[in-house]
Amino acid sequence: MRALLLVLALAAAATPAGAQIPDSTYLPPARADALTGLYVLSDGRVVSVADLRDEVGGRPVLSVTEFASGRARALYPRDSVEFEAGNAWFRRDSVAYRVRFDESERPARALTWVESGRTLTGRRAPLVEREVTIRNGDIVLAGTLILPPGRGPHPAMVYVSGSGPETRRIPRYVADYLAYHGVAVLVTDKRGTGGSTGTWNGLSHADWATDVEAQLDFLHRQPAVDAARLGLLGNSEGGFVVPMVAARRPDVRFLICRVCSALPGPEANLDANLGALRQRGMAESDVALVGDLLGRMMRYALERTGYDSLVATAASLADRPWYRQFVPTRIAARDARYWDVYRSLLDVDPRPSYARLRIPVLVVLGERDERLPIEKHRPVFDALARGGVDLTLWVVPAASHGLMLGPGNSAGYPPGLHERLAQWVAGAAGVRR
């Protein structure tokens, strides 16, 4: 089945437009897996080496995030041994630093970092990783439980990813960093990705929520986890799921929503898709046409009205160069199952779930989020806080939907953003230092 929500087909790529994608000749998948992880440099910096293959067409591509400064850089293989980072994210116009990994073991345990005439060493952070499988009825979710150093039991959280075919690779840079600060994190491959069964395309939020609940149940059975201190972190579309789960699970003691909607599915979906098209440079006249067509599709899915008008509108736009990027070749038949699945994805409103919460909630939004207009979402979250929800709202200045800065996210993350997040999570989880 083709992607039912345009936002799924237009999910934000990790890399900016015009990115210089590193060559992967010297980086087979197994080697990339062995190099990724959290490292602590000899000057105290904590850095994450992540593999973005899920977001750049399946080719292994390494990206490094420095948490204190927020600097993010892709790594370009110079040869079979050494990598270099450019002057901006996915730009190689000049060299910022060079990295060589100690590959005598797999995964790599150490690296050498050369920058501004200084040579630093780095050691892999002492996290414990356990590969796990979790059953939810006929669905099997494959994942990794990342445990902090030291004796447990530890507080723990489930990381719920965003839209599209996301595997556990995408959230690992945040998950590792939170584990380093004392909170175990469970990350899984979404249904139909990586090692998980089922399909992500057309996955309703209600069914997605049952996957999250199965992961919470799994954490209850882990001796290294303190089941009295469990939380959820939802990212982007995952933000429709986590308040729903938290509102009906008394074992969820804290909640983080990263660039999540405060509005119902139809409005959020329309904003996200049109914002993505504007970001790509589509003319406003064409954006309006897409908005009209998408509105008609949503109206039919939700209300079963206006089908003939929808078909006629689609036919009138079929010769537009952008049409087949995200519209089925033929609008689904009037009684097709397509519309029932589409409705299940649209028929969601996070506000009642948030209103029932009596736990600490953190919501992080980007001031320049092209998909979640801040002027629409901030008033709703502010009203929830005034209504008695223990909700803290951070609006990150000048940040995009990826909470990054600069044209095409080229300037990386705001300094201290992840440190501040880790401190909030550790406090809410009752990390004992």
Is residue 231 within 8 A of residue 215, CB to CB? The reply is: no
Residue 4 has a pLDDT of: 42
Question: Do 85 and 75 touch, CB atoms closer than 8 A?
Answer: yes
User: Residue 293: which of 277, 265, 313 has the closest Cα?
Assistant: 313
pLDDT for the residue 9: 37
Of the candidates 157, 64, 149, the one whose C-alpha atom is nearest the C-alpha of residue 362 is 157
Residues of the chain falling short of pLDDT 70: 1-18, 326-329, 433
Instruction: Report the pLDDT value the prediction gives residue 284, as an integer from 0 to 100.
Output: 94
3-state secondary structure of 277: helix
pLDDT of residue 7: 39
Q: Which alpha helices (H) appear in 169-221, and where do they start and end?
A: 172-180, 205-220
Radius of gyration, CA atoms only, the chain: 22
* C-alpha dihedral sign at 49, 72, 184, 377: negative
- Count the Cβ atoms, other than its own, within 10 Å of residue 282: 15
What average pLDDT is seen over the chain?
A: 92
DSSP string, 336-354: -HHHHHHHHHH---HHHHH
Q: What's the pLDDT score for residue 8?
A: 36
Per-residue confidence (pLDDT) for residue 11, from 0 to 100? 39
- Tokens encoding 92: 């190689």
Residue whose entry in the numeric block shows the structure tokens 């160069």: 321
In terms of C-beta distances under 8 Å and separation of at least 24 residues, what long-range contacts does 173-177 make, across chains too? 173/38, 173/48, 173/50, 173/65, 174/233, 174/418, 174/421, 175/146, 176/37, 176/38, 176/48, 176/125, 176/127, 176/146, 177/38, 177/46, 177/48, 177/67, 177/418, 177/422
Domains and CATH numbers, the chain: 6-124 (2.40.128), 128-264+350-429 (3.40.50.1820), 265-346 (no CATH)
Q: How much is the pLDDT for 12?
A: 41
